[in-house]
Amino acid sequence: MRASLRRPVLSRSVRRSHPLSELSHLWRELDRWSAAPLVASPRARLDPRATIRHDAALDTWVMSVPLPGRQADQMEVTIEGDRLVVAAPLVETEDEGFSPVHIERPSKAIRLRWTLPEDANADSVQASLTDGWLRVEVSRKVRPAPRSIPVVAG
């Protein structure tokens, strides 16, 4: 038998790739999968720093948003239809002879929108600003207590 010095020819169906290219493809798929619901969701417009908790004992929702450097008279909390809107204009600080090298606070205008739950009582919204944290409380509508209704023959 004669030994062949030629290499075997790879068929076109066999693809040679970098061993980590599959991992890179997996990361791209995970990024696409995790970002897709955020774009489609109407609640995605809420600032990622904002937190919303539901207190079942008090039947309230509490939204907390960090707004450092803002004053209570600089912001506006309104209800537009079924949405709660928090608007805070641009904060401008001018110090003569001072030019900042690094700014840790965002200095842009803020507009947050949160779709209220269906059973939220829009008349009972309360907002407070403490130590740079805006806290908005929304209570649930009061449901009528169960009662017996007499039937009249007639």
Q: What is the CATH number of domain 44-95+106-139?
A: 2.60.40.790
**pLDDT value, residue 16:** 61
Rounded-to-5 percentages of helix, strand, coil across the chain: 20, 30, 55
Query: Counting every residue, how long is the chain?
Result: 154
How crowded is residue 11: how many other Cβ atoms within 10 Å of its Cβ?
6
pLDDT 10s digits, 103-145? 766 667 788 888 888 888 888 899 999 988 899 999 988 888 8
- Model-wide pTM > 0.75: no
Structural domain spans, the chain: 44-95+106-139
